[in-house]
Structure 1
Amino acid sequence: MAENEQCAQTTDDPDEPSVSRPDPAAGPPPHRSTARSLLRLWPYARPARWQLAGAVAAALVASVSVLGVPIVLRRIVDGPIAHRELAGLWAPAGVLLLLGLVEAGLFGVRRVIVARPLARVETAMRGDLYARLQRLPVSFHDRWSSGQLLSRATSDMFTMRLFLAFPLVFLIVNTMVFLTGTVLMFTLSWQLALITLVPAVPLMVLTRYFESRYAAAARLAQDQNGDLATVVEESILGIRILKAFGRHRAMAEDFTGHSRRLRTTELRKADLLANLWAVIVGLPELALGCALAVGAVQVAHDDLSAGTLVAFLSTALALRWPVESLGWLLAYANEAATATDRYFEVMDEPVPAEHPSGLAPAADRGIRFTGVRFRYPDAPADTPDLLAGVDLHVRQGETLALVGATGSGKTTLTALLPRLYETTGGSITLDGRDVRDIPREQLRRLVSVAFEEPTLFSASVRDNVLMGAPGAGSGQLAGALATAQASFVDRLPDGADTQVGEQGLSLSGGQRQRLALARAVVGDPAFLVLDDPLSALDVHTEALVERALREVLAGTTALVVAHRPSTVLLADRVALLADGRIIAVGTHQELLKSSPAYRELMSGAAASGLEAPEPAAPESAAPALDASELEGSARR
């Protein structure tokens, strides 16, 4: 049984404190029923039920036809061979050939029947999983590693589809064939049948013992595979950091450690399956040897015909595959059950429902925070609320700068506005309407966000920017790029249609940040949230962006997280956040006169050189890929 592992997760923003959260991959649930887990696949498999039934029927007829071979052999031995009538062999030989062709043809039909519908089942399940991941709150993604989610959408999905296509069919077919063959053996000789079935009881006990141990090992292996995928993903995304600090060997050691743990678990699974297989094969073979000895004695005393003995032994040998495959089929059923559990661990996560506040709309306009409290869902019980009663009003058409020390909760407060997180207490209103009363889709059209850490996708510049307003035209795109001073786009190999590559790493940090800013303003949002969006820009480019941004801010209601005094000067008013509350609100000059905490914060920022007024070289001269390098990167 896999032990619970604890992993430290941190928020994406250095502004927030790290919180230790439990790893969701904590092993199989206690007393898990394999059958109950697999039954959860039925709603997805139901559209393919007739094809599955056809596959079972085809495989069953093919497998049962093999049991006709012993009957034909009995007639051959007791007939043409016993009476030395070689001419009588042609008809039975033709029957044997026909049975072989029927078996081969039906097994081929089985594969054709289930291939396409089960591919659709897998596609539907993967689509539902992806849709669920998109709807789950950010707090869920804070707790789960991307590798664990990736393994559920890939390897686990393949395991479930393969189970429906093969092990499920043959668990049914082999059971029916075994029962049919057992009846046939009793018909041929009940004494020999009893001898052959002696191992049945110990085999059932052994398989039950095996199932519980293999289930734990299978779950552990799948979780370790997810952890390994996380290490690979982090290594690839962070390859520049690893190389820059010479930590690639340390990461390789970490990867090797995860690989060895996975190998150990897989070898443990192999040992369990090998031991089971040895017993499953050995006991029936021993029983069959005893039955052969007893049958030979009966034939010698004329109590049994030679043809009947041959038919009995042929039937017993035909049942070897249903018996020997039992271990493998049970092992795969356990792996499929574990994959199903892992899949539904995500699907069972509740999606936050809309909870109308029932409050009458307020008379004021703009953004209002009233008694807002927040703590992370997985924070320790003795941890105080990060936000402990925030009261703040951003007037309509006003730009308000939010400042505070690192870890004070500025980024968290801005994340509550578009409901990336849900408040623990209090309320947030937009133009007098509680955000909980606004459907999320509509809310996120009203509120546009630019984060300090810009995220770009493997798509063109155009697609990345217009993600903020899918229906926007080329004119709005050009206007947004102009506001963000993103003239570098014109110098890219294909202009706005240039592919920026994964995470946008073919661009400089300042270029990525300007595209993220353009994405935030392209749709002319009613409410704009900017989380220190200019931190990666040089002073000259920052001044140009601020000048253009003032025009955008004049037509919207904006909340700007500021770390630089220059960014603070974009705002009409400033709010100081400390100890989970707003402790001062006013203009920049007013707070410099009235708030010692604000003066200390600003003096620290100024001392760090962030307010230096002298112009710097344009960022286009900063390290960034030139057109030829970017074109080569895009082609790669």
Structure 2
Amino acid sequence: MQIRDLPYPDPGDPDVRSGPRFLLWLGRNQLRGQLKSMGWGLLHQCSIAGLPPAVGLAVQAVVDRSGSRLAWSGGLIAVLGVLISLGDTMLHRTAVTNWITAAARVQQLLARKTAELGSALTRRVAAGEVVAVSTGDVEKIGWFVEALSRFAAAAAALVLICAGLLLYLPSLGILVTVSVPLLALAVLPLLPRATRRADLQREKAGKATELASDTVAGLRVLRGIGGEELFLGRYRRASQEVREAAVHSARMWSLISAVQVLLPGLLLISLVVYGAMLARDGRIGVGQLVTVYSAATLLLFPLRHFEEIAMAYSFSRPSAQRAVRVLSLHRAARPSTVDAAPTGDLYDPVTGLMAPAGLFTAVVCGNPDEAGRLAERLGGHAQPGAGAGPDSAEGAAEREAPSVLLGGVPLDELPLDSARTAVLVQDKEPVLLSGTLGELLDVPSSGRVTAEDALTAAQCGDVLDSLAQASLATDGDPMTTRITERGRSLSGGQRQRLALARSLVTDPEALVLDEPTSAVDSHTEARVAAGIKTLRQGRTTVAFASSPLLLDLADRVVLVHRGTVVAVGGHRDLLRTEPRYRAVVTRETDEEIAAPAPGCATATIEEIEERA
């Protein structure tokens, strides 16, 4: 796999049983790239290993006053220099390719899982953690995959050099061959402690980052209550804990590095002393001593890869574990049985909510969280296994809950793409991606609703005027004006209406809106509600709201109380006959609810709750 071929047509089915198994799966899927990198690494390492014999031959040729052998040795050194340059260049190229392609594979897997789970993902994993996995953790995982091939090449080079020294000069080769494994394994007892300290540092850094994010998000509130110094003190303590943990971790890794320098240094000193004694006794030549000493010196370079692979694994293992936590979540275990998206009524058997085909249905819930969960259910997002562990009681309850039906067909029996096309859910806080307004509205759609019609229905006239004034084009076309990330250059009401226009353009079979007019004034709200009803004429629309202006325009209103439909009718009829509906819509107090109303006998709030 080359970088130019990215993205992968299919990133594969990862092994998510554990972090190490996931790393092993990544390595197996890049076996060709790993072997290629290892091959170039062997060429590089063996060419370096060939320098000591060539230098030794040159020294011996000078001692023996042989010009021909000196010339031959010089030519050999020149060839080895070319091979070292070639091997080093291609090793770097292939190793970095392995890094980038591995990181791209993990990012594709995370993106696919995010698209599969939708908003259900954040019920199990915080959004910040998903971002951290797809950025910093992906880089650490790629580092391990990249370092693995270079480590394998270094290990193979060590074996070849030791074998060559044994054959070339057994008296010194035995000393080197016995010492090298000890040098390579000397740091193993220190790795568990170093890993624990690194994990503790990352944990404390994550808590400090979370505290900083919460502080920035609530800065306005903190200033209002005078709590800046309190939170500043907390962040200072958290940052000091991170610093102390980082120092402890660095001390451990510096000790490992010191061992990697000290022990090879002792080997070289022993080799020089013992070799000098042999040369003095005439048992070996000067050129042979130079050759063995140079080879032992060059062994230090491959040995450094043992430290690097230990560090790479130490940092990538928890990163892989976090990636596995996200990738192990699943949407549904039921196979798809229907190919095409059906049409008809949208019905939730859990709550009894029915949204007849072609009508504008408004849903009133006293609990906003309950409304959000129900909206997700209607879109097929709250699927079995997405919100709870497979062995938990919550997960078991989700598996037993029947799916929402569209035209009598369960949504979880539809292919994911078909389910998302048939039922579109716009949540309470939709996100606007950066780009031009034209790109924002360029979404998969039926083609029956134009961008102009959607913008008109969502009452985006003032938004278009603002974008036209901010446009850099001479014609002031708002469709070519760039919208900043998350629409921060717009007000809350403008962002909400643009998101509504984007949803209207898609023209799904069933459109579910969660508080679509909560950020606009009452006059705009009435016009938006009328625009939705007109544009969606003949299409199924469900709006979760408590605004009388929107409820009065709905074809039918449904009251959901404690997870069950308790009343269905028109807005004005429910105001007269249903105290619980009136309490939510008009924000009445308990005393006002207890007062008699036309068509409703006097009752206390407790009695009303008992009747429910």
Contact 1:403 1:563 in 2 (8 A): yes
CA, structure 1 residues 570+171, in 2 after alignment: closer, same or farther (shift >3 Å)? same
Aligned residue among 129, 154, 176 for 2:110: 129
CA, structure 1 residues 235+45, in 2 after alignment: closer, same or farther (shift >3 Å)? farther
2:415 matched residue in structure 1: 439
Question: What's the TM-score, normalizing by structure 1?
Answer: 0.75
Residues in 1 aligned to 2:478 and 2:217: alpha-carbon distance in whole angstroms: 25
2:192 matched residue in structure 1: 212
2:479 matched residue in structure 1: 496
1:51 matched residue in structure 2: 36
Residues in 2 aligned to 1:154 and 1:331: alpha-carbon distance in whole angstroms: 19
1:613 matched residue in structure 2: none
SS of alignment partner, residue 307 of structure 2: helix
Residues in 2 aligned to 1:176 and 1:71: alpha-carbon distance in whole angstroms: 23
1:453 matched residue in structure 2: 429
1:287 matched residue in structure 2: 267
2:371 matched residue in structure 1: 410
Residues in 2 aligned to 1:406 and 1:266: alpha-carbon distance in whole angstroms: 45
CA, structure 1 residues 583+174, in 2 after alignment: closer, same or farther (shift >3 Å)? same
Matches within 5 A, 1:342-361: 342-355=322-335
**Structure with greater helix share of residues:** 2
Shift of residue 417 of structure 1? 0.7
Matches within 5 A, 1:146-545: 146-165=127-146, 167-187=147-167, 189-196=169-176, 199=179, 203=183, 206-221=186-201, 260-355=240-335, 366-370=345-349, 372=350, 390-407=351-368, 409-422=370-383, 424=398, 425-467=401-443, 469-470=444-445, 472=447, 476-491=450-465, 492-493=467-468, 494-545=477-528
2:603 matched residue in structure 1: none
Residues in 2 aligned to 1:441 and 1:37: alpha-carbon distance in whole angstroms: 27
Question: What's the TM-score, normalizing by structure 2?
Answer: 0.77
Give me the CA root mean square deviation: 3.8
- Quote the sequence identity (%): 23
Residues in 2 aligned to 1:557 and 1:188: alpha-carbon distance in whole angstroms: 84
Letter in 1 for 2:87: L
Residues in 2 aligned to 1:85 and 1:367: alpha-carbon distance in whole angstroms: 95
Shift of residue 102 of structure 1? 3.2
Shift of residue 458 of structure 1? 0.9
Structure 2: gaps of 5 or more residues: 1-15, 385-397, 469-476, 591-612
Residues in 2 aligned to 1:323 and 1:67: alpha-carbon distance in whole angstroms: 17
Shift of residue 41 of structure 1? 1.5
Letter in 2 for 1:311: T
Match status 1:80 vs 2:62: yes
Residues in 2 aligned to 1:184 and 1:141: alpha-carbon distance in whole angstroms: 57
Deviates more, 1:266-275 or 1:349-358: 349-358
Contact 1:69 1:99 in 2 (8 A): no
Matches within 5 A, 1:134-145: 134-145=115-126
SS of alignment partner, residue 422 of structure 1: coil
Letter in 2 for 1:443: A
CA, structure 1 residues 471+65, in 2 after alignment: closer, same or farther (shift >3 Å)? farther
SS of alignment partner, residue 555 of structure 1: coil
Aligned residue among 583, 596, 607 for 1:600: 583
Contact 1:456 1:503 in 2 (8 A): yes
Aligned residues: 549
Letter in 2 for 1:411: G
Residues in 2 aligned to 1:80 and 1:551: alpha-carbon distance in whole angstroms: 98
SS of alignment partner, residue 583 of structure 1: strand
Shift of residue 350 of structure 1? 2.6
CA, structure 1 residues 525+322, in 2 after alignment: closer, same or farther (shift >3 Å)? closer
Spell out, residue by residue over 1:285-325, the C-alpha distance to the aligned partner (whole angstroms, 9 max, x if none). 22332333333333333344333333332222222222344
Structure 1: gaps of 5 or more residues: 1-28, 373-389, 608-636
Deviates more, 1:556-565 or 1:117-126: 117-126
2:567 matched residue in structure 1: 584
Shift of residue 142 of structure 1? 2.7
